Each structure stands twice: as C-alpha cells, then as structure tokens.
Chain A
C-alpha cells in the first residue's frame, strides 16, 4: 500500500487489558470508540470498522460494528467487521487505511474489542484452536499453545539451548510493562518465577504464553487534508503490508522460520522507503515465546538461533539496539487477541509522541499474526 492519501491518526484510546466482569464486548468497544472520537476533536467517522476474533465462537454479538455504531448514535455511516483470527486488529487497521487511500472515505474509526473472560480456560483454548486448520489440527486436540510447544522444543534442540533461555524474552516484555497503567501484569519477572511456572505442554509454560484478556482499543484515521492546520505534525500510518504464506503447524516447527513475517516486514519497509535501522521500536506478535523468537529472527534483528542470547544481553530492552514491546507486549500488557493490532497502534502512537529516540528515529513497526504465523500483517507508524 503506497500511493494515495496520507493517513493521520488523530485520536486514539484503549482500556486496561484485564478481566472486566462488569463489561461486555459491546460495552468495551463503545467505550474505546467514544474516547477515540473525543480525543480526535470529535471528528465523526464515515466508516466504523470493528476487529474481533472470538465473538461469534463465544456466542457473543456478531456484526459488532453495526451495534457499536448504533450505541454511539452514529447513523447513516458504513460499518464493517473484520475477523482474521488473532491478526484481526492488523487487518482492520489495513482495511481502514485502504478505504482512505482509495478515496472512499476521509474519516475511519477502527475499533478492536475482545471478550475472553466469559469462557473457561479450556473453552477459550478450544475456540482459539479453531484459528488453526479446523479439520486437521483443532479436530485432533491441537491448539496454538500446543503447536508453540512443539516449536519451542524443536528450537531448543536445533540450537542446543536450555529452556531457561526463553526467560529473557518474557523478562523483556515484563520489564517494559512496569509503568504501563494499561497492563494486566506490570511487574518485573525474575528467573525463579519463570522456572516455577506451570507446564501447559512440554516445554511451554504459562510464562511462555501471553495471558488472554478482555479489552478494547480504537484509533481514528483521517485523510491528511482534513487536518491541514497541523499538516506534517502528529503520527501517520506510513505503510502497510499483509502476506499469507503456507499454512499449518508443521512448517514453522520444521523450518524454524516464519516466511510471511519476513516478507511482510520487507514489503512494509520498502513501501515506507525505510530500512530496519530506521525503526525506533518494534511490536511483534508475542502470543507465545516461540512466535516471539521466530518473529525477531525473521525480521533480521537476530541471527538464526541467537535471539535468546540477544535477549539475555539486553538487545531488546528500551536502551538496547532494537527496543521491543515498549509497553509490555501481549505477554505483560495482556493478550486481547483480535484487538491486539489496535492496542499496538495506540501504544506506538503514545510512545512516539511521548519519547525521543536515538539518531532521530521516529517510526514504529507493529505486526499481527494469524493462523499460526501463516498470516502476517505489518504496519509502520511514525512521523513524517
């Protein structure tokens, strides 16, 4: 996605990711949407897009955007739901950008919302499993966590590493969440806590997975011309890329690669006329440690087999070479599943506005993954 109108993020909001017993899916989406509209200076959207992965499977509201628009009193606008599994947030952001790029609308509100706490853990795991190949993997007792466990084991074996080395990825995320008021687990993680964590599927433990959370976040996308008095100021969506590669659990486990991740990042950098060294912070899809490791390596931030050592050396901390999960990522902020891509966008906006980075860097790379890494959606967000 390159030609067309500049897309500015004029407003954003997010709810704290946690267990929100008192709020339903629509309640959260409406709350986030209303705040984003207010933060944008009460720009009214011509299009409202909702990203949600689990609502239909949880017997919750389908056609969510229609109902969110209704409760916001937004009538006579276009509404659209996006469900691309855990990549829904990234896909919705891309769709919103495409609508503006194509000149079909000038203001688009993109909302991500997910309700996970209404299901028991095993029910949630089952629902998430159907984001894999339903008849070949979910049907046979596999889930994303089980696939990730196979991948972790293959990774440790291939590179002759101890499981404890994966601690450093979780440590990085938790360290960055410490001062994040929107994070469910804003505490530092020590190695002892990591090693005592219960096993989900050998060798993967609870601390190797991101905790499913309730949450909602929203961004207001606006065609640049509407905001001419502040032209070239603020945060923009600079590029977007969506790649779907080969499917299935076996491929990343056998190859220890995520080709879609690599291609999507390369394409988004090319579209933005940037290279990887121009990026100030990275938000990769850390629903589990296996994806974290392969994503970092696929992006070229670590050589193959060296990501855990690099994490141990602090390469991905805020003062490291490649700051990663600046607000805690899914691991410590909380995994809002289909809303995650929107959380990443909001966090990137806030971080870029509130911080200065070395060498004048002013861009963030955010990425959502779906279907066990077969689908990768990348955005580069930053200042012009």
Chain B
C-alpha cells in the first residue's frame, strides 16, 4: 500500500510540484484538483523553486511511530519563496544552529522506515543554503 502511495505522491514529495490556476493564477502545494480560490478545474503543473525561510521550528523528542529513530529532529514551518507555508523537517543542521528566518532549500532525504520489512520512504526536507 505504501509503495503505491509513494509513487502517486512523487511529484509533490520528490520534486515539489504543485499547480497554478489557469484562471486566477493562485498557486497550490501539493497539487489539488480544483482551484481553492476560484473553483477553476483547469490547472497547470507548477514547479516550486524549493527555496524559502524557516518561520518557526521545534525540536521533537517524542515522535510518532516510524520517526522514533530520528529523534531529536527539527520540525519546522518553511515559508516558500512563492508565499506558501509548508511543514517539513530540517536536515544537515545542528539544533543550536537553527534560527528564525534562516534561508533553506529543499533536499531529498529518507523520511521514515515503515516497519522492519516495509519500504524506506523518501521525500523532501529542508537544509540551510550554504
């Protein structure tokens, strides 16, 4: 079940693809079937740049199952340059190096392991722009 889900979500989870409404130009991430602003159903694929800044973050010590091995990890709100805020983990950065408004970009990393015999799930995290 997880393999099919991961395949279906590859556009958003691996490439940060969303959509732009052909009528009102509203952006959405991840992709939606209908524009949430005007109801238009003709939407074009939109490639988000994958860059933004950290607007809030927390250090997680008690995580949901499948994320335990990454504790402590940094869970953040990242405001993309296009103006949409996404929830994501930060990576390639120490806890005491994170700061508000820190510029970050999207990288592909292992998100979780679904049990001992399940697939390893990859998706986006955000890392500091060097």
A residues whose Cβ falls under 8 Å from a Cβ of B: 120-123, 125-126, 129, 135-143, 145-147, 149-150, 153-154, 198-204, 248-250, 253-254
Pair B65/A126 contact, Cβ less than 8 Å: yes
User: Given A146-B75, A253-B77 in contact, is the A137-B61 Cβ separation under 8 Å?
Assistant: no
Most chain A CB neighbours (cut-off 10 Å) among B13, B62, B63, B87 = B87
Pair A146/B60 contact, Cβ less than 8 Å: yes
Q: In the complex, A141 Cα to B124 Cα: how many Å?
A: 12
Pair B75/A254 contact, Cβ less than 8 Å: no
Interfacial chain A residues near B65, Cβ < 8 Å: 120, 122-123, 125-126
Interfacial chain B residues near A253, Cβ < 8 Å: 56, 77
B85 within 8 A of A: yes
Pair B86/A138 contact, Cβ less than 8 Å: no
Contact with A along B52-85 (1 / 0, CB 8 A): 0001111111111111101001011100000001
B50 within 8 A of A: no
Pair B58/A141 contact, Cβ less than 8 Å: no
User: Given A122-B62, A200-B62 in contact, is the A141-B112 Cβ separation under 8 Å?
Assistant: yes
User: Given A123-B65, A135-B30, A254-B85 in contact, is the A141-B60 Cβ separation under 8 Å?
Assistant: yes
- Beyond A125-B62, A135-B5, A141-B63, 10 extra complex contacts between A and B, CB < 8 Å: A120-B65, A122-B64, A139-B111, A141-B67, A142-B75, A146-B60, A200-B60, A201-B58, A201-B62, A250-B86
Q: In the complex, A138 Cα to B13 Cα: how many Å?
A: 13
Interfacial chain A residues near B13, Cβ < 8 Å: 135, 139
Interfacial chain B residues near A121, Cβ < 8 Å: 62
Closest CB of chain B to A327's CB: distance in Å? 27
Pair A140/B61 contact, Cβ less than 8 Å: no
Q: Which of B56, B59, B70 contacts A141 (CB 8 A)?
A: B70
Interfacial chain B residues near A149, Cβ < 8 Å: 58, 60, 75
Pair A202/B56 contact, Cβ less than 8 Å: no
Pair B64/A143 contact, Cβ less than 8 Å: yes
Pair A140/B111 contact, Cβ less than 8 Å: yes
Q: 10 A–B contact pairs at CB < 8 A?
A: A120-B65, A135-B9, A140-B89, A141-B67, A141-B70, A145-B62, A149-B58, A149-B60, A153-B57, A201-B60
Closest CB of chain B to A265's CB: distance in Å? 25
B residues whose Cβ falls under 8 Å from a Cβ of A: 5, 9, 12-13, 30, 55-68, 70, 73, 75-77, 85-89, 111-112, 121, 123
Interfacial chain A residues near B111, Cβ < 8 Å: 139-141
User: Given A150-B75, A202-B58 in contact, is the A141-B64 Cβ separation under 8 Å?
Assistant: yes
Interfacial chain B residues near A153, Cβ < 8 Å: 56-58
Q: In the complex, A202 Cα to B62 Cα: how many Å?
A: 10
Interfacial chain A residues near B112, Cβ < 8 Å: 139, 141
Consensus secondary structure, chain B interface: strand
Pair A122/B63 contact, Cβ less than 8 Å: yes
Q: In the complex, A126 Cα to B64 Cα: how many Å?
A: 4
Closest CB of chain B to A124's CB: distance in Å? 9
Q: In the complex, A121 Cα to B64 Cα: how many Å?
A: 8
Q: In the complex, A150 Cα to B74 Cα: how many Å?
A: 11
Q: In the complex, A253 Cα to B100 Cα: how many Å?
A: 14
Pair A146/B123 contact, Cβ less than 8 Å: no
Please give me the residue from chain A that is nearest to B60 by CB atom.
A201
Most chain B CB neighbours (cut-off 10 Å) among A120, A140, A248 = A140
Interfacial chain B residues near A139, Cβ < 8 Å: 9, 13, 111-112, 121, 123
Interfacial chain A residues near B68, Cβ < 8 Å: 122
Pair A141/B89 contact, Cβ less than 8 Å: yes
Closest CB of chain A to B58's CB: distance in Å? 4
Pair B64/A201 contact, Cβ less than 8 Å: no
Interfacial chain B residues near A141, Cβ < 8 Å: 60, 63-64, 67, 70, 73, 75, 89, 111-112
Q: In the complex, A12 Cα to B85 Cα: how many Å?
A: 44
4 A-B pairs closest in CB distance: A126-B64, A250-B85, A126-B65, A149-B58
Please give me the residue from chain B that is nearest to A144 by CB atom.
B64
Q: In the complex, A121 Cα to B62 Cα: how many Å?
A: 9
Pair B62/A150 contact, Cβ less than 8 Å: no
Q: In the complex, A323 Cα to B70 Cα: how many Å?
A: 42
Q: In the complex, A160 Cα to B122 Cα: how many Å?
A: 38
Please give me the residue from chain A that is nearest to B62 by CB atom.
A200
Q: In the complex, A142 Cα to B30 Cα: how many Å?
A: 16
Pair B67/A136 contact, Cβ less than 8 Å: no
Q: In the complex, A126 Cα to B111 Cα: how many Å?
A: 14
Please give me the residue from chain B that is nearest to A142 by CB atom.
B87
Pair B56/A138 contact, Cβ less than 8 Å: no
